[in-house]
Amino acid sequence: MLQTIPTTPFSGQRPGTSGLRKKTRIFMQPHYVENFVQSVFDALREISGGDFKDKDLIVGGDGRYYNRVSIQTIVRMAAANGFRRVQVGRGGILSTPAMSAVIRRRGALGGLLLTASHNPGGIDCDFGIKYNISNGGPAPESLTELIYAHTRKLSRYLSLQSCDVDLDREGVVRVGDTEVRIFDPLADYTALMERIFDFDALRSWFHDGYRMVFDAMHGVTGPYAHHILEHCLGAPAGTVLRGQPLEDFGGLHPDPNQVHAADLVALLAGDSAPDLGAACDGDGDRNMILGRNFYVSPGDSLAVIAQQAAAIIPGYRSGLAGVARSMPTSTAVDRVARSLGIPSFETPTGWKFFGNLMDAGMCTLCGEESFGTGSDHVREKDGIWAVLCWLSILAASRQPLAAVVGDHWRRFGRSYYQRHDFEGLDANAAAGMMEELRRRLPLLVNQSLSGSTVSAADDFSYTDPVDGSVSAGQGIRILLADGSRIVCRLSGTGTEGATLRLYLEGYRRDGGYPIGDILDPLLRAGLDLLQMQARTGRTRATVIT
């Protein structure tokens, strides 16, 4: 029976860098999920002017606490809102890149993803919902702002009375007039990977005795990695660590970086280290790549993949149309683009800004410094895909990973790179610090800084070359004459206080310097400019990656 349930708006339901992310208990308030989901549906209806009777909605999540409850709510609401079909990943599971692949392959209107990505999960941790559009990518800002506008004026939502759907049994059931299909969350994604990569070549790498470990961090990639690496590619059992998705990620922070995946870093530094180490985040869109005693920075990873893809990965044999990176991401890929004679785009932070470029055929590969790498095979960053790229690189070269990156540096030089995160800052203090620096930017130009001179200082504003939309206030960047950069911005994914990210990049022809020699002076300059200690009492970052 259809129900129209009266409700009142919640404040703060504005999607951030990647969907709506809050403490789980906030989502657990009565009507909270319902209000947001109804606002998504109302916004979609406003845009299309039509109904959903010939439309499919895909639903899935990273397996965190409150995933299953939210999915049942969404199924009932989607039925009440008149969708033709709702397709749900078995067990409520879908990685972010798999969601993107499924939406595209099945011609769905879009999908709702239950995830707070790399944020910890559990009743006292974080939860999130994001909507992806029919190209498979995150909703663009025009849509997220429209959704937000609806959350502020919502007065009712639609649902219907029906029992829970069995999420663990594949097949078709009906909820109201809507068909609900529970499908295998691995199939579409695996098929896509088989189309892009030379699975025989990867199999032979394992067959010849090379070894890797993959740390799924108890996130959503466990089942994908077990299936693709161990089942399809013949990697021995035990290649995948922490492969079972857990509602609280085993109490860990499912964030693949040197800090939160320190175990894996230690494993790769040990005596019997494998040839390749990799980890993905909670929802499977981030990746970290390690060689024996060697860490590949995300900017270098993107650059090396861009340089080699056409030669060694069948899916890119016809070459790359262009590459893109978010503004704070290292400029390493720009040098590769120049040598390939292809354009390189600089976008604001967040994968949603790559979508238009890829849809328009202007860019094939893209990446972010935050362990995100991907291509136009989907419209999200893709952790397992990145791992398969590196497997392809190693299978082709048969060299240690460190040698591959060393060769790259010898040819292109090296962008020394670090991000310093200052987490849990007082929100007003953080905003004030940014505001004050923004005000002083014009005065910095031509001043000497960190052994060089400031050649430009601005607050990054992006004009989308496809639709002309403008996104301003996307982060402060201070460019030095020697090619170094200091960038800072406030995070849009945190759920507590404010996080300030300070990004440092220094370029040298020689790849062999200790990283601190190049970046420490830039760090000091950045902290001084921000007046970090005076304004927040902090002298050191919470997390350095």
Q: Which residues are catalytic?
A: 117
420 binds ligand VG1 (CB under 6 A): no
The distance of closest approach from Cβ of residue 118 to ligand VG1 in the complex, given in angstroms and rounded to an integer, is 5
Which one of the spans 55-63, 194-202, 336-344, 368-376 is the region binding ligand VG1 (CB under 6 A)? 368-376
Q: Which is nearer to ligand VG1, 18 or 151 (CB)?
A: 18
Q: Which is nearer to ligand VG1, 118 or 414 (CB)?
A: 118
CA dihedral 146, 152, 155, 160 (to 10 degrees): 60
Q: Say how far apart CA 261 and CA 352 lie, in whole Å.
A: 26
297 binds ligand VG1 (CB under 6 A): no
Among 81, 87, 257, 370, binds ligand VG1 (CB under 6 A): 370
Say if residues 148 and 70 touch (Cβ distance below 8 Å): no
Element containing residue 440 per DSSP (H, E): helix 427-444
Q: Say how far apart CA 337 and CA 412 lie, in whole Å.
A: 11
Among 316, 501, 503, 541, binds ligand VG1 (CB under 6 A): 501
The distance of closest approach from Cβ of residue 371 to ligand VG1 in the complex, given in angstroms and rounded to an integer, is 8
Element containing residue 407 per DSSP (H, E): helix 401-412
DSSP type of residue 94: -
* 3-class state of residue 75 by DSSP: helix
Q: Say how far apart CA 380 and CA 136 lie, in whole Å.
A: 7
281 binds ligand VG1 (CB under 6 A): yes
Among 491, 495, 536, 545, binds ligand VG1 (CB under 6 A): 491
285 binds ligand VG1 (CB under 6 A): yes
List of residues contacting Co ion (CB under 5 A): 117, 281, 283, 285-286
Residue 24 binding result from Co ion, ligand VG1, none, given CB thresholds of 5 to 8 Å by partner type: none
Q: Which is nearer to ligand VG1, 295 or 351 (CB)?
A: 351
Q: Which is nearer to ligand VG1, 494 or 511 (CB)?
A: 494
Q: Say how far apart CA 27 and CA 25 lie, in whole Å.
A: 5
Q: Which is nearer to ligand VG1, 81 or 370 (CB)?
A: 370
Residue nearest to ligand VG1 (CB): 117
Site for ligand VG1 in 318-357 (CB under 6 A): 326, 349-351
Q: How many residues of this chain interact with ligand VG1, rule: CB under 6 A?
A: 18
The distance of closest approach from Cβ of residue 367 to ligand VG1 in the complex, given in angstroms and rounded to an integer, is 9
- Pairing mode of beta strands 476-480, 485-490: antiparallel
Which one of the spans 143-151, 228-236, 281-289, 304-312 is the region binding ligand VG1 (CB under 6 A)? 281-289
Owner of token pair 């909670």: 282
Instruction: Report angle CA 16, 19, 21 to the nearest 5 degrees.
Output: 80
Site for ligand VG1 in 157-186 (CB under 6 A): none
Residue 95 binding result from ligand VG1, Co ion, none, given CB thresholds of 5 to 8 Å by partner type: none
Write b or e for each residue in 455-492: b if 16 or more Cβ atoms lie within 10 A of its Cβ, otherwise e: eebeebebebeeeeeebeebbbbbbbeeebbbbbbbbe
Residue 497 binding result from ligand VG1, Co ion, none, given CB thresholds of 5 to 8 Å by partner type: none
**Alpha helical stretches, state H, 154-220:** 187-196, 199-207
493 binds ligand VG1 (CB under 6 A): yes
**One-character DSSP codes across 163-194:** PPP-TTS-EEEEETTEEEEEE-TTHHHHHHHH
Q: Say how far apart CA 191 and CA 381 lie, in whole Å.
A: 17
The region that residue 293 occupies, defined by phi over 0 for left and psi between -120 and 50 for alpha, beta otherwise, is left
62 binds ligand VG1 (CB under 6 A): no
Which of 379, 251, 245, 388 shows the shortest CA–CA distance to 313? 388
477 binds ligand VG1 (CB under 6 A): no
Question: Residue 386 carries which side chain, given as an amino acid letter?
Answer: A
Which one of the spans 224-232, 242-250, 364-372, 446-454 is the region binding ligand VG1 (CB under 6 A)? 364-372
Q: Residues in the site for ligand VG1, rule: CB under 6 A?
A: 17-18, 117-118, 281, 285-286, 326, 349-351, 368, 370, 372, 491-493, 501
